[in-house]
Amino acid sequence: MAIRRGRGVAAINYPTGMNLGGDPTQALVHSTPTGNFMVTLSSVDLGQGMKQIMAQICAETIGVPTDRVVIDTADTDTGPHCMGTFASRGTHRAGNAVIQAAKEARQVMLEVAAEELEVNASDLETDGQGNIQVKGAPQKSISIFDVALSAHFKRGRSISGRGMFLIPRSYPEKETGAMKPSTCYAHACTVAEVEVDDETGEVTVLTVKNVFEIGRALNPKMVEQQLVGGSWMGISHALYETTEPYYPNRDHGGTDFNQYLMPGPGDLAQTEITVLERPSADGPFGAKGPGEMCANPQIPAVANAVFDAVGVRIDTLPITPERILRALKAQAAG
């Protein structure tokens, strides 16, 4: 009887957005009289930080600091349609809609600034700090605060824009399955290292080293929080979770967190994350949706590591001590 060590690898990809497309999202952007920008959506923030990312996307596009942007979501009386937050689609779909709306608003803003500065709008640029200036002559500038005031009270212009993003729906061909499921894919490769106690069947995940390719890390800290959380969820799926432990038997299902097994802080592995960015052709600033993908590769990586450690294959999830011990017993019986 011994503690045995093993490691396993898995490599995966994952589509961004609703399978086969046909999932629209809209956005509206307008400025307040003093040059703050409201983004109106009906997209849902599940705790992953959708509001923050939409604010950064709008700010980058218009050319203002992020704290000048306010996100108003999700009220169906005011927010234009969004299909919903699922299928790793929020950043990609809503982000594109926000960019389109913000571009339209930016154009009006530059036109008003051009009138105030008596130059052509095409000669203007934003400095990212809240000002609009003449390209090559930054001393000739006007604040966005003043531009918004002018637009509202002097020029009678609405600094606003409409955005819509839709990937047309694809219909699978009946006989061959020819179809277009998605326009871009995130990628991952994970190596997990485990210890298996061949007396108790218990698995300890020592390290999980994840490499994720996500198109573009729009906010690296938020990317990190999502990827680390996903990696933990992958371990949880591999070793612990199910509502029906003896599926297809319906009995013994957990009804609270005492009975439904999930890892606690002490059960989580040392987690490393490396991020690569290959911008997608149609993503906002190249972003793909890594929200779901990041919880997948740990499951087979852990399964393969368990085999590497003790030489038995557990092809049924979750990989419980009971299943490992039964397999070891069968192996010993030859």
Comparing CB distances to another protein, the nearer of 154 and 221 is 221
Helix (H) or strand (E) holding 308: helix 298-310
* Shortest separation between residue 209's beta carbon and another protein, angstroms: 5
Give me the least distance between CB of 53 and another protein, in Å please.
9
Minimum distance between the CB of residue 134 and another protein, rounded to whole angstroms? Answer: 19
Q: What is the spatial distance between Cα 213 and Cα 31, in angstroms, rounded to a whole number?
A: 35
Nearer to another protein, 99 or 113 (CB): 99
Considering beta carbons, is residue 149 or 242 the nearer one to another protein?
Answer: 242
Supply the minimum distance, in Å, between the C-beta of residue 264 and another protein. 13
The letter for the amino acid at 301 is A
Q: Output the CA torsion sign for 138, 144, 150, 156.
A: positive
Smaller CB distance to another protein: residue 60 or 197?
60
The DSSP H or E segment spanning 193 is strand 185-197
- Closest separation between CB of residue 156 and another protein, Å? 30
Cα separation, 20 vs 286, in Å, equals 20
- Convert 121-137 to b/e letters by CB count within 10 Å (16 or more is b): beebbbeeebbbbbeee
- CB count, 10 Å around CB of 49? 20
Pick between residue 150 and residue 193 the one whose CB is nearest to another protein: 193
